[in-house]
Amino acid sequence: MTRVQPEAIVIGASAGALEALSVILPALPADFRLPIIVVVHVPPDKRSIMAELFRAKCQLDVQEAMDKQPMSGGTIYFAPPDYHLLIEVDKTLSLSADEPVLFSRPSIDVLFESGADAFGPALIAVVLTGANSDGATGLAAAVKAGGLALVQDPAHAFATAMPEAALRLCPGARVLSLKAIAQYLKRFV
């Protein structure tokens, strides 16, 4: 069976996210064609500097996501603090102030589940380092929709809880090092 051509990538990370994303995102070339939507757990009362930091490191356009924003290929979108980030079926981004999920807003599960609804088998979902189980249920939704699941090897994660929880729910996910995840994604130039 041939895989559907991917149309979007969703990434979730928590504790250790800056270091993990610093291996993956700057490795993507300027002609990378897929949109990348990222949720990192950040304190709700702090301004996020993730977009600023990665704008300086990456060859791709990096933005903090805005409500009702259409997605563009070759762009990295970070969830703003204290909002869930969702992908609508019309492939726009939306922000929600709904209740936190697993004490997190933004929630990785919310992003991944909405991404699975919008893209189905054309979604790549990536769970990285983190200290809770956010992302596991969303990864399972992506797999159920036919999407591809990548999980950072827990043996090399700063915080193992998130990748381990993801693998418990999705034992068939590809387990890769950060460098291997970057290499895998570079195939979609």
Q: Which of 41, 84, 107, 109 is catalytic?
A: 41
**CA 41/CA 14 separation, integer angstroms:** 5
Structure tokens at 81: 């603090």
Q: Which of 14, 104, 107, 114 is catalytic?
A: 14
Q: Which of 84, 104, 109, 134 is catalytic?
A: 134
Residue 104 annotated among the catalytic residues of the structure: no
Residue 82 annotated among the catalytic residues of the structure: no
Instruction: Pinpoint the alpha helices (H) of the chain.
Output: 17-24, 50-57, 108-119, 136-144, 161-169, 178-185
In 3D space, the residue among 35, 40, 36, 59 whose CA is nearest the CA of residue 50 turns out to be 40
Helix/strand/coil for 54: helix
Residue 72 annotated among the catalytic residues of the structure: no
Asked if 151 and 127 touch (Cβ cutoff 8 Å), the reply is: yes
C-alpha distances out from residue 43 to 40, 56, 115, 132, 143, Å: 10, 22, 23, 15, 29
The catalytic residues are 14, 41, 134
